[in-house]
Structure 1
Amino acid sequence: MSGQTKKSEFNKVLSSKDILVIAFGAMIGWGWVISTGDWIHRGGVLGAALGFVLGGIMIFFVGLTYAELTAALPQCGGEHVFSYKAMGPTGSFICTWGIILGYVGVVCFEACAFPTIVSYIFPGFLKGYLYTVAGFDVYATWLALASVTAAVMMFINILGAKTAANVQTILTAIIFTVGVVLIATSAVRGDTSNLVPQMFAGSGNRSVISHILHVAVMTPFFFIGFDVIPQAAEEIQGSLKKIGKILILSIVLAVAFYSLVIIAVGYLLDPAEVNASMAGSGLVTADAMVKAFGVKAVSNVVIIGGLCGIITSWNSFMIGGSRAMYSMADSNMIPKAFAKLHPKYKTPVNALLLIGIISMFAPLAGRQMLVWICDAGNLGCCLAYCMVSASFLILRKKAPDMPRPYMVKHYKLVGYTAVLMSGAMVLMYLIPGSGSTLTIQEWCMAGGWAFLGLVFYVANKKKYGSEFGHHTDIEIEYSETDMEAIRLAKAGRRSKETEAVAAQEAVSV
């Protein structure tokens, strides 16, 4: 690490609102439309909501480490820079390569999810049967819509981060509106007699708690997406301290959204209706909306909200994946071609083209294949969370004087809790019987990605030698708010050091 700096090549076009909707939209995909019934079966209505709150607390600690590091190191690549500063090139390579798999996996999965949701709205949409992959029938219309939409998403992102953010704002507003309408309507037309019999799953205190925990250990995977903010940190304008606060706010909003939607559904549908919906379309949230308004067509409103959720996740992870690839290429870790920015729009055009083309052809493998890719990618994201949490602790020791506009209090408690929580998430994928253990197919995909990373690592280390992993910091512009926060943080640290010295002297005497 050298003391040299350079000017950022990215355009600072993202506002506070933009990064909030990018993170929130990434976390609120379409799970709230298709998975609510499963959550209620696992934990009961109140049990599932509490499970999401507990899961949110787990991810909140990880989010705090991200908030401090993003404000301190607002550079493209986020995790790449954090782990490089703390662990060096090898640690940075593992961390960033893992999270790229997560981002690309989600992008490919959403390419398949989009036409699948469309087929719910228009039952006659599937035409021209082609073949079957892993039990999934691939149709010509399904494949064409998936590929065309992937091309459009790629084009939108190439046009600039602001264009992508504007699309994100509109779609997130639709999701939020649909969710608020459902929650508000349930408060008026719901019935506690529906809620009481299904408040908790299981019987007895131990059984109830185990069912709540069963939901809780699953929920962090629905909160993946807040980490897109540090990927695009170099393109964010305004106070750095505010970036940290918005990152935390996005997590809180996601927890509240999921929990309230679960309660709304349980307030509108009784256990028999939930079971009937699960046995039928499986879209329990949509059926709850139908009961609230008494009109069958209203279910399409919820499904359209889910459709918007697919696109917001898709859009966010394209932003994150392309910036992560750019940062690795800029550090000579993968082919340098991926460090090219568009001359006009200042977006990592080659990285976006690669991710876009992969997502255009990915639907050929069928939906089940991409579920495997997505699950393998979640392991990569959780590994990156654990490494970033560890980097947070390392940098507090290694670089105590680094300016931190957003400084977390009780950093040891926060840091070690985040490491333990994220480490537990990784173990869930590894330990048989945890409910999230990777299948053989998913292990093959994770292993293949790791092997490809090893090839890039060896080849580029040989090609670039000491320049492998080279990183140059960008020049950081601090607002008056940031400067005041940094000054207060330093004053607080000096005060603690003085108290520690005085205490040591007292002990010596």
Structure 2
Amino acid sequence: MPRQELNKTLGFIPLVALGVSGVIGSSWIYTNGTFFEKYGAGGMIFGLAIGTVLAACVALSYAKLTALFPRAGGEVVYSYTILGRQMGFIVGWLLIGAYISSLAFYFTAFGVLLELVFPQLSTLPLYSIAGANVTLPVLICGLALALLFYFLNYFGISLGAQVQTVLFGILIVIGLSLAVVGFSQGSIHNFWPAYYEDRGALLSTLRFVVPGMTYMAGFGLVATLAEDAKLPSATIGRLVVLTVLLAGTFYCVVLAASAFILPWKEVATMDQGSITAFRQAGFPLLGWGAFIIAIVGLLTSFLGLFMASSRIVFALARVRLLPPNLAKLHPQHHTPRDALLFVLILTIGLGWLGKGAVGWFLDTGGIYLGLVWLIVVISHLRAPRRYPHLKDRIPPRSVLLPLVGAIGAVLVIILALYPGTDLSLIWPMEYIILGGWFLLGGLLYAFASPLPEDQALADLLGEHVDTLSSDPTSTVPGREAQSQRR
């Protein structure tokens, strides 16, 4: 059976657009008032900046590993190749849990966000779960969104990338407009002092570092789509880091502009954060611009995560850790049609629970992503030991900064699991969901019929399988490395 390969259609700009706009979410621009109230404007902005740096440190591991293995599935490929089959499945399963939870949340949040403009969407309640009403119009909006992006991906990633590039341009233009007006028409005195007098500046900043890292969730999208890109593998790797830095800069600049245009303590009292701030400052069009950022951020994140989820499913199915039918490609468009349908079904099925219940799943995603980041850094550390001939391409010093980022990933996990923190999981539902997801994954792995290692590595890595051997003429993946380990 011929090997299933994805089309290489993504260029530099589309890949940057997918990466950056896939990270920039929605709620941050209208909930920042709440965070200003809890941490001060300085706590949120500077904490987010530190979180961005830590995420960029983790992204350095992605950059190194993507340069070696630019294949669909990103983290699945690294962990499977370096740490083994079991770890490859764990990483893929964690990513599916994190990404599908986010997609399901956006499924409902899209209609809820539109309610700010169209209040009639809150009518016709169907049922209530976890204290949140689920209305028919909101579900129809979510269903339309999911189907739209499913078909955009079904007919080829280039079409979805074109849409993402346009939306990315809209984000940048509006964000720059908010920044220019906020900094030129506002005042530094509205921002500084940036903390509450009765709360320590350092503690307020550090408390937002972990949430700041979670704001960067999704930067692995670039690595996941590496097989779709028509770029040198080293360039793709560097784009992972660039994605984090650009997204983090965008967040910080727009949030700072919101704290310049009006005294940030006033913004802290506003229900819609930056949206209300610019309106009350006398710039109603920019208030609408902030609202458009929320909508566009939701759309770009949904589209990016939909693409990424399908590639993760595709990679696991490629090596039969999920049903092999999920690795089939459309004969004409060369898109993972069954994997896309699988993601669509999960998104709709979970999304119909409503924002209250989906919030439980979304919260556990922070743990999943923290574990994935940690495993990627461990893969970076272990690669030269597993394949000694790669030492020149992955020198020991290259893992120093990623290890710093890994500490941040561990903090994400600890603060989510430890009761009583601002990031703690909700007892008992979120702990039940966490345990249930691991149990379901364990059952799937136990009943899987995986390919033999050599064949699996060949299918997973394609033309890059020779990277595993110091002998370029070797036809058996990893044979040279295996003999050295003996």
Q: Same fold (TM over 0.5)?
A: yes
SS of the residue 1:121 aligns to: coil
Corresponding position of 1:138: 134
Query: Structure 1 CA distance, aligned partners of 2:100 and 2:3?
Result: 29
Amino acid at match of 1:423: V
Query: Which structure: larger Rg?
Result: 1
Corresponding position of 1:503: none
Match for residue 95 of structure 2 among 95, 99, 111: 99
Query: Structure 2 CA distance, aligned partners of 1:272 and 1:328?
Result: 48
Match for residue 59 of structure 1 among 52, 55, 62: 55
Indicate the RMSD between aligned Cα atoms, in angstroms: 2.2
Query: Structure 2 CA distance, aligned partners of 1:331 and 1:217?
Result: 34
Of all paired residues, the percent bearing the same amino acid is 26
2:36–2:268 Cα contact (<8 Å) kept: no
Query: Structure 2 CA distance, aligned partners of 1:382 and 1:468?
Result: 30
Tell me how far 1:188 sits from its aligned partner: 1.7
Corresponding position of 2:483: none
Q: Write out per-residue CA displacement over residues 184-210 of structure 1, whole angstroms, 9 at most, x where no aligned residue.
A: 00122102332235x113547xx2110
Structure 1 segment 260-339 matched on structure 2, within 5 A: 260-271=253-264, 273-277=266-270, 282-295=271-284, 298-339=286-327
Distance 1:184 1:331, change over 3 A: same
Query: Structure 1 CA distance, aligned partners of 2:451 and 2:331?
Result: 29
Q: Is 2:37 the counterpart of 1:50? A: no
Amino acid at match of 1:30: S
Amino acid at match of 1:422: A
Distance 1:124 1:301, change over 3 A: farther
SS of the residue 2:390 aligns to: coil
Q: Write out per-residue CA displacement over residues 48-96 of structure 1, whole angstroms, 9 at most, x where no aligned residue.
A: 2211111111111100000110111001111111001221111111111
Corresponding position of 1:23: 19
Q: Write out per-residue CA displacement over residues 264-321 of structure 1, whole angstroms, 9 at most, x where no aligned residue.
A: 11111224532441xxxx21111122134443x6433221221110011111111111
2:9–2:229 Cα contact (<8 Å) kept: yes
Tell me how far 1:219 sits from its aligned partner: 0.7
Q: Is 2:380 the counterpart of 1:368? A: no
Amino acid at match of 1:12: K
Query: Structure 1 CA distance, aligned partners of 2:266 and 2:211?
Result: 24
Tell me how far 1:401 sits from its aligned partner: 2.5
Query: Structure 1 CA distance, aligned partners of 2:353 and 2:45?
Result: 35
Is there any run of 5+ residues in structure 2 with no aligned partner, and where? 467-486
1:331–1:468 Cα contact (<8 Å) kept: no
Corresponding position of 2:233: 240
Q: Is 2:457 the counterpart of 1:471? A: yes
Query: Structure 2 CA distance, aligned partners of 1:38 and 1:476?
Result: 48
Corresponding position of 2:195: 200
2:126–2:133 Cα contact (<8 Å) kept: yes
Tell me how far 1:29 sits from its aligned partner: 0.7
SS of the residue 2:178 aligns to: helix
Match for residue 420 of structure 1 among 397, 403, 407: 407
Tell me how far 1:408 sits from its aligned partner: 7.1
May I ask how many residue pairs the two structures share in their alignment?
462
TM-score normalised per structure 2: 0.90
SS of the residue 1:257 aligns to: helix
Corresponding position of 1:3: none
Structure 1 segment 395-406 matched on structure 2, within 5 A: 395-402=383-390
Tell me how far 1:411 sits from its aligned partner: 1.8
Tell me how far 1:476 sits from its aligned partner: 4.2
Amino acid at match of 2:412: M
Which moves more between the two structures, 215-224 or 394-403? 394-403
Tell me how far 1:325 sits from its aligned partner: 0.7
2:417–2:424 Cα contact (<8 Å) kept: yes
Query: Structure 2 CA distance, aligned partners of 1:47 and 1:429?
Result: 20
Query: Structure 2 CA distance, aligned partners of 1:140 and 1:458?
Result: 39
Which moves more between the two structures, 364-373 or 32-41? 32-41
TM-score normalised per structure 1: 0.86
Corresponding position of 1:443: 431
Q: Write out per-residue CA displacement over residues 205-248 of structure 1, whole angstroms, 9 at most, x where no aligned residue.
A: xx211001011121111101110111111111122221122111
Is there any run of 5+ residues in structure 1 with no aligned partner, and where? 1-5, 479-509
Amino acid at match of 2:208: V
